[in-house]
Amino acid sequence: MHGEIMIIEASGLIIDLDLQYINQFKNIENYKVLKKPNFYLKSINESIQYQYKKLEIKTAFYHLYDTNLGKLQIQYNDNIPIGEILYQDKTIIIIPLIKEFNIEYLLSQYAFVYWIRKYTNGIFIHSSSINYLNNGILFCAKSGTGKSTQRRIWEQYGNAICINDDKNVLIFNGKDIEISPNPWSGKHFKNTNLKTKLKSIVFLKQAKENKVEDISKAKAFNMLLNQIQLPSKENEETWNKNIDNLLELPIVLFECNMDKEAFITLKKELEKRGVFDEIKG
């Protein structure tokens, strides 16, 4: 039943990936490495018998329990349990209750994001990212606003490369912020294993005419809050510093349409703000 066990490097984590539907995981081979893993992600077929101790978190999407075997997350879709995630520190076991690749993919992504918060100096951010002449740009917006559309326009007219179309990890080294690639990238499975320095964040809003507006740090933070991974007890201090460094970047609100003009306008406005400076110099 199981696919091949694969060792991958994703956002700096070396993960032993033992998934049932790995053959359907597009682009995963691009992250393969010959390194000793530190993290173990295993997908199993049968549910485990737990002794429940306490319900700790209850949201519309999941319940989190403390159990005798570790923290257990039960994932729901329209009140139907679709999968379980058992967190045992650097080993995470996932159990797709609906036997489909999509469910396993979702559960494995949760595991990955958990490790990012716990074991890296990184922040996960819901966004689409591109590498344009070695400059990293993040497109941020609520789902359905057009992140992938702007990404596509930049690929088409600027020969930009998509780093990750939906799930980006930013790794912080002081003011140097890197978009650190990983294979989990939402419904389009669009990602490239290409580390890129982050130079700017662009919030998107659909409009008829293209217009770029600078926004305050407070406004940018408020907009980011819906898209980023929040701090934990362990990383509160570094998270705080990382956010301050992130807010030092040029951040704009881009009211845009889906035409070539959107690319031309944004490119010109980012140029004005020095986003591509190192390339010129």
Partner 1 sequence: MKLKDNSMLKKIGNENIILPLSDHNIAVDVILKTNEVGAFIYNCLKEEITKEELLNKILAEYNVDKTKALNDLNLFLDLLTKKGLL
Q: Under the rule (CB under 8 A), what is the footprint of partner 1?
A: 57, 59-60, 64, 71, 73, 110, 113-114, 117-118, 216-218, 221-222, 225-226, 229-234, 236, 240, 243, 247
Minimal distance in Å, beta carbon 221 to partner 1?
5
Strand 167-173 with 176-179, pairing: antiparallel
The first and second tokens of residue 275, run together, are 């986003």
Minimum distance from residue 38 beta carbon to partner 1 (Å): 18
Handedness of CA 15, 19, 25, 30 (dihedral sign): positive
Residue 279 C-beta: closest distance to partner 1, Å = 30
> Could you tell me the smallest distance in angstroms from the CB atom of residue 259 to partner 1?
33
Report, in Å, the least distance between residue 179 CB and partner 1: 20
The CA distance from 82 to 237, in Å, is: 35
Cβ 207 to partner 1 shortest distance, Å: 25
Nearer to partner 1, 75 or 191 (CB): 75
Beta carbon nearer to partner 1, 102 or 226 = 226
DSSP 182-235: -S--GGGT-B----EEEEEEEEEEE-SS-EEEE--HHHHHHHHHTTBPPP-TTT
CB 279 within 8 A of CB 271: no
Kindly tell me which of 157 and 221 has the beta carbon lying closer to partner 1.
Answer: 221
Q: Smallest distance, Å, CB 199 to partner 1?
A: 21
In angstroms, the CA 14 to CA 32 distance is 9
CA atoms within 13 A on the CB side of 85: 27
Q: Which of residues 45 and 216 has its CB atom nearest to partner 1 in the complex?
A: 216
Measured from the CB atom, the residue of 64 and 264 that comes closer to partner 1 is: 64
- Which of 161/247 has CB closer to partner 1? 247
Residue 136 token pair? 């990293």
Helix (H, G, I), strand (E, B) or coil at 100: coil
Cβ distance to partner 1 smaller for residue 51 or 59: 59
Q: How far apart are CA 106 and CA 186, in angstroms?
A: 9
Give the residue among 203, 188, 190, 201 at the shortest CA–CA distance from 141: 203
Residues in the chain: 281
**DSSP 8-state class, residue 247:** T
